[in-house]
Amino acid sequence: MRFDILTIFPGFFDSVLDYGILKRAQVTGQVQVARHDLRDFTHDRHRTVDDRPFGGGEGMVLKAEPIFDAFESLGLSAKEQRDTSRETVIMLSAQGRPFSQSMAHELAGMDRVVILCGRYEGIDERVNEMLCDREVSIGDYVLSGGELAAAILVDAVVRLLPGALGNPDSARFESFGAEDVAEESMTTDGVPRATHGSGGLLEYPHYTRPAEFRGVPIPEALMSGNHEVIKRWRRRMSLEKTLRNRPDLLEKATLTDDDERTLRKLRAGIRGAMEQEM
């Protein structure tokens, strides 16, 4: 798989790509990450990549010309042909479609992903209309530029590639996990996973040695040795954490009748705690 990142700060990615999974994937040849400096595609002595917006307003806008020249140097398929070429072009923008784990899985199936990092007030919209397949945002906030977002996107995608992680199931049975692993609730050594995969829920809490730390023991269920007890505990904790931190995910999650009963009890407990505080 190949990533091409178009940016005015190519050096930003030096440290990001030199550690952990991203470094290993590059060393083994699973992934190539090329960085392209947009200033190399300018035609004036000041290497100007931005200009004032038409109609007035604050800030500067990245110009279309150097971006088009940079794209043409990459030898990409035409936009209308990319559905069959396994290539895609992404413009990172605060106005884009939210990045998600499902999108990461989709991108992991591509052969080539080109990422355009925005800067300043934005990018000439003709770039989006004529060159890009999708406009993507990593969250409802504004960054100084798209470089951080690009690093996040690359990391999220690369870890999904076969062989990138030490244990291939690590990317399947986790928060925002796919629903198609619902029946694989046990590892090969019989240790229970988060029952039904995560089914779109947040993952349950984890603990490690020592069993008691500063007077706080791990949950009793995890010491029971009973796989069914552990499995039920993990599912309940997954539901509880999702209800507390991301209740919006419950609307689309795969829930059983037992899950629904557990959620009713959890909600009742939350209401009772709130009434006591009042």
Read off the CATH number of the domain in which 16 is found. 3.40.1280.10
- 201 phi and psi angles, rounded to 5 deg: -95, 170
270 found inside a domain: yes
Report pLDDT for 83.
Answer: 78
This prediction's pTM: 0.85
Q: Where are the beta strands (DSSP E) in the chain?
A: 2-7, 32-37, 50-51, 61-62, 87-98, 112-116, 122-123, 134-137, 212-213, 216-217
Q: In this structure, are 59 and 182 located in the same domain?
A: no
The secondary structure of the chain in percent helix, strand, coil, rounded to multiples of 5, reads: 40, 15, 40
Amino acid letter, residue 34: A
Report pLDDT for 195.
Answer: 45
Nearest alpha-carbon partner for 53 in 125, 137, 142, 129? 125
Q: Say what angle helices 147-158 and 20-27 make with each other, to 10 degrees.
A: 70
Q: In this structure, are 233 and 142 located in the same domain?
A: no
d(CA 92, CA 122): 10
Report pLDDT for 68.
Answer: 96
Q: How far is CA 58 from CA 55, 111, 116, 120, 137, in A?
A: 10, 38, 22, 10, 21
3-class DSSP state of 232:
helix
Number of domains in the chain: 2
Q: In the numeric block, which tokens belong to residue 121?
A: 């007030």
Question: Is 5 within 8 Å of 117 (Cβ atoms)?
Answer: yes
Report pLDDT for 194.
Answer: 46
Which residues, 6+ apart, have CB-to-CB distance to 96 below 8 Å? 134, 135, 136, 137
- Report, as ranges of residue numbers, the positions in the chain whose pLDDT lies below 70: 166-198
Report pLDDT for 242.
Answer: 96
Q: In this structure, are 82 and 109 located in the same domain?
A: yes
Q: What is the CATH number of the domain that holds 194?
A: 1.10.1270.20
Q: What is the pLDDT of residues 81-105, one digit of tens each?
A: 887 889 999 999 999 999 999 999 9
166 found inside a domain: no
